[in-house]
Amino acid sequence: MSEQTFLVLTALAEEPLHGYAIVQAVEQLSEGRTVLRVGTLYGVLDRLVADGLAERDREEVHQGRLRRYYKLTDSGVRALQAEVARLSANVRAATAVLRGRGVQAWASRA
Amino acid sequence: MSNLERRYRSLLRVLPRWYRADREEEMVGIFLADRTDELDLEHSWPGWGETAAILGLAVRTHLAAGAALSSVPAKVVWRGEVVRALGVLGLLLGVFYATAAVVDVVAGDPGEPAPGWWRVLELGPLVAFGVLLSGRRTLAKVAAGAPVVLSLVALAQPEYALAWSVFQLPSLVTFACLCLGFHREAPAPPARRLLWWGGGAVLLGVLGGVATGAGVLAAGLVTVVVRGVAFVRGDVVLGRALSLFAALQLVPLLLLAFVGGDVVSAGLGVLLVFAVVWPLRRRPKTAPQAN
C-alpha cells in the first residue's frame, strides 16, 4: 500500500469526506509532507473504490460547486487495520535495533 | 466563469468523456476551493505538478485502471487489457532474445564483438519479466528500457537511422505499452500464468541460441498457434494483442525478406500474416474482469 493510499484511508477512517477535505486532511496527517494533487487523489480514490475499500457517500452543493463525499467500507477498515499492524511491527523492530545501538528512536524536532 | 476555471476545464479535456461526465464538476470544485482573489482567478494557470497529475490520470482512465467503476465503457476496459497484454508480449520477445544471447555466450559463439556493459543490458528483459511478476513495476520498466537505450546508441550514426526505425519501432511500441499499461493503479498481472509463458519464451530462446533460424521460426509458429488457441477459447483480448504484436513484427521481417532475400524471414512473415488476419471471435456482451 502506497503512503498516499494509506493517508487517504486514514483520513476517511474518521468520517466521510469530500475531495477537497481529503486533500486537507492528508496534508495535516502528514504534517505537510504529502500534498495530494487532484489527479493523484482521483487515481487513489478510483483504485480504492475498485477494490471495494471505499465507496461514494452523499453529494452536496457548496457555493455552487458539487461536493461528493467518500466513506470507508468495512473492507477498507480491515485493510487499514492490517497496514497499521504491519507498519507498527516495522517500527517496533527498528526501535529495538536503534535501542540496541544506544540511540533513541525518535530524533528531537527542536 | 473565470479564466482560471476555463483553463482547468480545458486541462480536464485530456480525460475521457465518460470520466469527465462523472467527475468534472467535482474536480473543478477542488481546483477552485479557497481561490477567491480576482487577480488570481483571471491570470493564474494550472501548475505544472497539477498538469502532470492530470496527464497521469488521463493515461490511467484511458487504459481503464478504474475498471471496477460503474461507468467505464466496455471498449475502454478492452483497450487497457490489450495494451497490457501487448506490453507483456513485447517483454516475452525480449526474454526470448536475451536467453538466446546467453546461450550464444555459453556456447562460445560471441557473435559480433560487444563490450561487457552491452551484454549486461541485453539481459534487461529477463530481469524486467521477473520483477514485473513480483509486483515491482517501476524497476520492471527500467530493466525493460535497458535494451531500448542500448538500441539508441545506433542513432549516433545517422546513416543507421532508417534501419533503426524499422527494426526498433516494434520494440519501442511494446515498451511504451508496458510503461503506459502497468501504471500504479493497473491490475496486477496474473503471475502464475505468466510464469508458464516466460518459461516457454526461455525454452524458445535456448532453441534460438542453438539454431538462430529455427528459434525465430519456432517463435513465429508459437505466435500463430497461441493466436489460434485464443480464437478457439474466445479470448479476444489475447487475440487482439497477438494480432497487433504480429503486425508490428512483420515490418522488419518483410524488409529482410524482400530486400535481403532472407528465406527464414519470408517464412516467418507468412506465418505472422496468418496470425494478423485470423478473425477474432465476436465480443461477448460482458467486459472482461479487470483484476
Q: What would the mean pLDDT of A30-45 be, rounded to a whole number?
A: 90
**Would you say residue B283 lies in a domain?**
no
Model pLDDT, residue A110:
46
Model pLDDT, residue B121:
77
SS in 3 state form for chain A? Answer: CCHHHHHHHHHHHHCCEEHHHHHHHHHHHCCCCCCCCHHHHHHHHHHHHHCCCEEEEEEEEECCEEEEEEEECHHHHHHHHHHHHHHHHHHHHHHHHHHHCCCCCCCCCC
**Would you say residue B291 lies in a domain?**
no
Name A84's Cβ contacts closer than 8 Å, sequence gap at least 6.
Answer: none
Q: What would the mean pLDDT of B177-188 be, rounded to a whole number?
A: 81
| Facing A38 at nearest CB: one of B27, B185, B291 | B27
How is residue B224 written as a grid cell? 500463430
**Would you say residue B235 lies in a domain?**
yes
> Alpha-carbon Rg of chain B, whole angstroms?
22
* Number of domains chain B is built from: 2
Last residue of a domain, one of B20, B38, B62: B62
Last residue of a domain, one of B42, B62, B82: B62
Looking at the structure, do residues B189 and B230 belong to the same domain, yes or no?
yes
CA dihedral (B277, B283, B287, B289) positive or negative: negative
Model pLDDT, residue A88:
92
Range with the poorest average pLDDT among B12-16, B113-117, B244-248: B113-117
Answer whether B9 touches A (CB < 8 Å): no
**Would you say residue B286 lies in a domain?**
no
Looking at the structure, do residues B58 and B87 belong to the same domain, yes or no?
no
Residues B92-139: tens digit of each pLDDT: 888 888 888 888 777 776 566 666 667 777 788 899 999 998 888 888
Looking at the structure, do residues B48 and B78 belong to the same domain, yes or no?
no
Model pLDDT, residue A82:
94
Model pLDDT, residue A49:
87
Model pLDDT, residue B291:
46
Range with the poorest average pLDDT among A71-80, B8-17, B103-112, B176-185: B103-112
Model pLDDT, residue B168:
77
* Dihedrals phi, psi of B104, to nearest 5 degrees: -55, -50
pLDDT at B280 over 70: no
Q: Order of strands across the sheet with A54-62?
A: A17-18, A65-72, A54-62
Answer whether B291 touches A (CB < 8 Å): yes
Looking at the structure, do residues B53 and B160 belong to the same domain, yes or no?
no
Run of H or E residues at B43: helix B38-43
Indicate yes or no: CB of A43 within 8 angstroms of CB of B68. no
Q: Is there a contact between A51 and B67 (Cβ–Cβ < 8 Å)?
A: no
How is residue A94 written as a grid cell? 527498528
Model pLDDT, residue B53:
92
CA angle B135, B179, B230 (to 5 degrees): 80
Answer whether B257 touches A (CB < 8 Å): no
Residue carrying C-alpha cell 457555493: A63
Sequence ranges of the domains in chain A = 3-100
How is residue B245 written as a grid cell? 504484436
Looking at the structure, do residues B186 and B269 belong to the same domain, yes or no?
yes
Model pLDDT, residue A83:
93
Domain that includes residue B53, residue range: 3-62
How is residue B284 written as a grid cell? 461477448
3-state secondary structure of B80: helix
Indicate yes or no: CB of A37 within 8 angstroms of CB of B67. no
**Would you say residue B57 lies in a domain?**
yes
A chain contacts of residue B69, beta-carbon cutoff 8 Å: 46, 49-50
Query: Shortest Cα distance from B203 to chain A (angstroms)?
Result: 35
| Residue A59 vs residues A17, A18, A68, B45, B255: alpha-carbon distances, Å | 10, 9, 4, 28, 59
Rounded distance, CA B176 to CA B169, Å? Answer: 10
Q: What would the mean pLDDT of B138-163 be, rounded to a whole number?
A: 76
Residue A17: band (very low, low, confident or very high) from pLDDT cuts 50, 70, 90: very high
Looking at the structure, do residues B266 and B124 belong to the same domain, yes or no?
yes
**Would you say residue B257 lies in a domain?**
yes
Q: Is there a contact between B33 and B72 (Cβ–Cβ < 8 Å)?
A: no
How is residue B47 written as a grid cell? 501548475
Looking at the structure, do residues B96 and B221 belong to the same domain, yes or no?
yes
This complex has an ipTM of 0.82
Residue A72: band (very low, low, confident or very high) from pLDDT cuts 50, 70, 90: very high
What average pLDDT does chain A have? Answer: 88
Looking at the structure, do residues B96 and B123 belong to the same domain, yes or no?
yes
Q: What would the mean pLDDT of B62-86 be, rounded to a whole number?
A: 73
Looking at the structure, do residues B51 and B88 belong to the same domain, yes or no?
no
**Would you say residue B69 lies in a domain?**
no
pLDDT at B256 over 80: no
Range with the poorest average pLDDT among A23-32, A41-50, B274-283: B274-283
Query: Of residues B70 and A86, which shows the higher confidence score?
Result: A86
Looking at the structure, do residues B120 and B90 belong to the same domain, yes or no?
yes
Rounded distance, CA A92 to CA B275, Å? Answer: 56
pLDDT at A29 over 70: yes
Interface of A with B in 9-48 (CB under 8 A): 19-20, 23, 37-44, 46-47
Model pLDDT, residue B65:
58
Residues B194-234: tens digit of each pLDDT: 889 888 888 888 887 777 666 677 777 788 888 888 888 87
Indicate yes or no: CB of A2 within 8 angstroms of CB of B184. yes
CATH number of the domain located at residue range(s) A3-100 in this protein: 1.10.10.10
Give the residue from A57, A58, A93, A95 showing the smallest Cα distance to A76: A57
How is residue B94 written as a grid cell? 525480449
Model pLDDT, residue B282:
54
| Facing B69 at nearest CB: one of A19, A46, A65 | A46
Query: Shortest Cα distance from A91 to chain B (angstroms)?
Result: 23
| Residue of chain B whose alpha carbon sits nearest to that of A53 | B68
> What is the number of other CB atoms lying within 10 angstroms of the CB of residue B1?
8
